[in-house]
Amino acid sequence: MTRNVALLFAIACGLAVANIYYAQPLLDAISNEFGITHSSVGIVITITQVCYALGLLLLVPLGDLLNRRWLIAGQMLVSVLALIAVGSAPTSMVLFMGIASVGLLAVVTQTLVAFAATLAAPAERGRTVGVVTSGIVMGILLARTFAGILMDLAGWRSVYLVSAVLTLIVACVLFRVLPHSEHKRESLSYLQLLRSLFTLYAQERILRIRAVLCLMIFTAFSILWTPLVLPLSAPPLSLSHTAIGAFGLAGVAGALAAARAGRLADRGLGQRTTGVALILLLISWVPISYTQHSLLALIVGIVLLDLAVQAVHVTNMSMILTLRPEARSRLTAGYMIFYSIGSATGSIASTHIYAYSGWNGVCLLGAIVSASALLFWALTRRLK
């Protein structure tokens, strides 16, 4: 796994995962165009995340069964069609169907992560996973900046149409670069493959513990990012979509922490990294709560929260991908299903809380979830 190939994987992952986050800074525009209330517009994100979870269950395990080169390129090409459908949707029903397809197919990101772990040398697996995962978090965060700029220039639909073109280009490059032959694949039927995913939950305690941590940290992540556009776009701040999207740049610090967290996991320091990161996650809600009074405080909070979430996530991935080399796609799928559950829960809960309790209610919810994650880690950190 050369560094250039790892960077290509990171770019592909970032582009793929960005497709499910473009809607977050566009929620108010989508709400206005299709007549969806602010208290319900979070359903756009929820649909995406629920379908992403279905994709993790139904598509990602195929990486242990089929040729990943064809699987990755095929999913990205179908994603192009889904993105075009969203960008040209005439009704909310077509929008929901298109966004559901985008979420389902965005799981190609996790197939790429599992493939990277397979290609990497054992001593560098954490570092490689960190590099590739840094592409994911940068895609998540820069999606807001990209979407905000295009929204102001050409409307929200242009975001998905431009992404369709970029996805097509990356799919073609990957098809040329990915190896033609792979390791020996599982001789299972598709149904046996899916059943074995649940067997992994029963047999691997680390997978269960890290999956629950994943659910909690991405619930907190979504509690911040899904409703953030609402107070920033409303008076007295009334920021443009470009300015709102630019806050994603503050979170890129989390991406820079990714590779370092992977190296620490390679050295056996995963538990210590997790504990420190979860403390930072809880602390981050203090400056975030001052958003409507100080944008600088918001920036500090974003940096802390995204750094913490990414550090825990990379550590989680590094730890679970060492468990069963022949089942890395299924391990990734089993873990990331909890990511989608957390993201969907955070999206719908935070928009409802904002509608009834404002930004302070959102911050209190985020702090409660973060404290729960820290407590859960403290109670389980000595379990093997």
**pLDDT for 283-338, tens place per residue?**
999 999 999 889 999 999 998 998 899 889 989 988 898 888 778 888 988 898 89
Query: Under the phi-then-psi rule, with left for phi > 0, alpha for psi from -120 to 50, and beta for the rest, what region is 36?
Result: beta
Domain boundary among 148, 165, 183: 183
Tell me the two tokens of residue 216: 């909690």
Among 299, 276, 26, which residue's Cα sits nearest to residue 147?
26
pLDDT band at 209 (very low <50, low <70, confident <90, very high): very high
Q: Which domain holds residue 60?
A: 1-183
User: Rounded to the nearest 5 degrees, what angle is found at the Cα of 132, between the Cα atoms of 204 and 208?
Assistant: 15
Give 237 or 15, the one with higher predicted confidence.
15
- Nearest-angstrom CA–CA distance, 306 and 308: 5
The total number of structural domains in the chain stands at 2
Q: Which residues fall within 8 angstroms of residue 314, CB to CB, at 6 or more apart? A: 126, 129, 130, 133, 257, 258, 259, 261, 262, 265
In this structure, the answer to whether residues 27 and 163 fall within a common structural domain is yes
3-state SS class at 106: coil
Which CATH number is 316's domain given? 1.20.1250.20
Average pLDDT over residues 251-274: 76
Amino acid at 5: V
In this structure, the answer to whether residues 225 and 134 fall within a common structural domain is no
**pLDDT for 115-165, tens place per residue?**
888 888 877 777 788 788 888 878 877 887 888 888 888 888 999 999 999
In this structure, the answer to whether residues 244 and 308 fall within a common structural domain is yes
How many C-beta atoms surround the C-beta of residue 90 within 10 A? 7
In this structure, the answer to whether residues 108 and 253 fall within a common structural domain is no
Give 240 or 361, the one with higher predicted confidence.
361
Mean pLDDT of all residues belonging to the chain: 86
In this structure, the answer to whether residues 210 and 173 fall within a common structural domain is no
In this structure, the answer to whether residues 124 and 24 fall within a common structural domain is yes
**pLDDT for 17-76, tens place per residue?**
999 888 877 877 887 887 777 666 667 877 887 888 889 888 988 888 888 888 999 999
pLDDT band at 182 (very low <50, low <70, confident <90, very high): low
In this structure, the answer to whether residues 255 and 309 fall within a common structural domain is yes
In this structure, the answer to whether residues 371 and 239 fall within a common structural domain is yes
**pLDDT for 317-331, tens place per residue?**
888 988 887 788 889
Predicted local distance difference test score (pLDDT) of residue 362 = 95
In this structure, the answer to whether residues 231 and 330 fall within a common structural domain is yes
Domain boundary among 127, 157, 183: 183
Q: What is the pTM of this model?
A: 0.80
Predicted local distance difference test score (pLDDT) of residue 258 = 61
How many C-beta atoms surround the C-beta of residue 97 within 10 A? 16
Predicted confidence (pLDDT) at residue 384 exceeds the cutoff of 70: no
Q: Which residues fall within 8 angstroms of residue 195, CB to CB, at 6 or more apart? A: none
- Nearest-angstrom CA–CA distance, 366 and 370: 6
Domain boundary among 138, 163, 183: 183
Predicted local distance difference test score (pLDDT) of residue 183 = 57
**pLDDT for 2-34, tens place per residue?**
788 888 999 999 999 999 888 877 877 887 887
Chain centroid to Cα 225, Å, comes to: 12
In this structure, the answer to whether residues 161 and 271 fall within a common structural domain is no
Predicted confidence (pLDDT) at residue 185 exceeds the cutoff of 90: no
In this structure, the answer to whether residues 284 and 376 fall within a common structural domain is yes
Predicted local distance difference test score (pLDDT) of residue 75 = 93
In this structure, the answer to whether residues 17 and 146 fall within a common structural domain is yes
Predicted local distance difference test score (pLDDT) of residue 20 = 86
**What are the CA-CA distances from residue 235 to residues 42, 158, 229, 353 (Å)?**
20, 26, 12, 19
Predicted confidence (pLDDT) at residue 88 exceeds the cutoff of 70: yes
Predicted confidence (pLDDT) at residue 168 exceeds the cutoff of 90: yes
